Structure 1
Amino acid sequence: MLPEPFFAGSGLDRADALRGQPDELARLKSDPAALELVWADGLPAIDPQGRLQWQPLASPDLFLGLADGAPRYSPAPFFEGDLRARFNALAHLAADEAPLFAAALSLASWHRRHRFCANCGSFSDSVRGGWSRQCPSCKAEHYPRVDPVVIMLAEHDDRLLLGRQPQYPPNRYSALAGFLEVGETIEAAVARELFEEAGITVTDVRYLSSQPWPFPSSLMIGCIARAIDDQITVDTTELEDARWFSRAEVAAALSGDETATFIPPPHFAIARSLLDHWLSA
């Protein structure tokens, strides 16, 4: 069984039925048990133990849901932290806090990027507790977007194809990935991306697992496929390098062996879960 990816799960009761009830949403804000997330440097704040931090209501812009019946909110800050700060935060975030962290960050990012109606250009209003925006001019309603991304392993003769991008830390290799395009199936996207980035033709594409990725709002769709051959042609506009790695090399990398031939993706990336799954299969 595939290990549960980081960010998986709801994190709390999202209470969808309450979002369309303005009177009930107003009542929840007066609940003495209501709390809102603390933010710092454009991210939900995390304490030294990896827990999210909460405070009394100050800017309850976004209704996140209910925790043991008590309402939980988040501000919608208009400042976005830098990429390095985000990944540093994830290294310390407790796994059971990750789903709520992801939901709050993605939702706040969506409001920051979609303040105007895509239909007529008017400034839109946050409604349904922050889970949609409505245009006061043309009445169009807009919902938080999710961008599907396929991320995949290709295998050949008990080896895995992994690649690295220039911005990766030195010697890190990971699964190849790319956005799903309009009018494309998941299977077609996997085959296209592997061929475009590494010149590999594949068959037998199988879905394994998915992961929300709140940077800003992707859904990573984890798959595995069988390569027809092992001849790699790297698209250097997409990748710096791509290589086949044996089962022994993957095992050494995941175990933290100092002699490993590559550094694996971090624990919070679904690529790491895909490697763990392949190694244990």
Structure 2
Amino acid sequence: MQSGWVRRCSADGSDHYPRTDPAVIMTVVDDDDRLLLGSSARWPAGRYSTLAGFVEPGESLEATVRREVREEVGVEIGDVAYLGSQPWPFPASIMLGFVAQALTTEVHVDGEEIAAARWFTRDELAESVAAREVLLSPRLSISRALVEHWYGGRIDDGGDTWR
């Protein structure tokens, strides 16, 4: 209803307005200008994306970026800069995109949320995508926009993104 701003229950006619739970999503870049991507423990092999996580009550967005990266892959973060956002009103979140500067590069995945993570140069990422060893998120996602922002343009995947 109302152009997507509300849902009306078909059983009782009540209106339901979406919550907006903030979540951060970030590219992590090291001093050698490599990009860190992770693979969720719930995904098939080869799916890689930027790291992300929900903001906890009373936590700043920058602190969330640092905490999520440290928890998921064990990398410490310095500077954090906002790049953009993508709303997801149903299921109730807004993705706030950042670029984060890594202070450390040794990766220790948590094994629960993240099963694998690795650093990529631009050439390594392009080659891995072309060989279909790495599948990136769809173009409509902020994750893809953040990756291509770091890359400096579109990454040709032949339309073969994960779904």
Q: Higher strand fraction: Structure 1 or Structure 2? A: 2
After TM superposition, list the pairs within 5 Å mapping 1:97-136 onto structure 2.
Answer: 103=4, 107-108=6-7, 126=14, 130=15
Structure 1 gap segments, 5+ residues each: 1-61, 65-102, 113-122, 134-142
Give the one of 91, 114, 126 matched to 1:251.
126
Give a deviation string over 1:79-131, Cα, whole Å, max 9, x none.
Answer: xxxxxxxxxxxxxxxxxxxxxxxx36xx33xx66xxxxxxxxxx9x84xxx5x
Q: Higher helix fraction: Structure 1 or Structure 2? A: 1
Matched residue, 1:148: 22
Give the one of 19, 24, 37 matched to 1:162.
37
Contact 2:41 2:112 in 1 (8 A): no
Q: CA RMSD in A?
A: 2.3
Matched residue, 2:102: 227
TM-score after normalising by structure 2: 0.82
Structure 2 gap segments, 5+ residues each: 154-163
Greater RCO, CA 8 A, separation 6+ = 2
Contact 2:27 2:50 in 1 (8 A): yes
The answer to whether structure 1 residue 276 and structure 2 residue 148 are counterparts is yes
Give a deviation string over 1:108-159, Cα, whole Å, max 9, x none.
Answer: 3xx66xxxxxxxxxx9x84xxx5xx6xxxxxxxxx53111110011111111
Partner-residue secondary structure (3-state), 1:194: helix
* Offset at residue 269 of structure 1 (A): 1.6
Contact 2:85 2:95 in 1 (8 A): yes
After TM superposition, list the pairs within 5 Å mapping 1:60-209 onto structure 2.
Answer: 62-64=1-3, 103=4, 107-108=6-7, 126=14, 130=15, 144-156=18-30, 157-209=32-84
Larger Rg, first or second structure (1 or 2): 1
Contact 1:251 1:279 in 2 (8 A): no
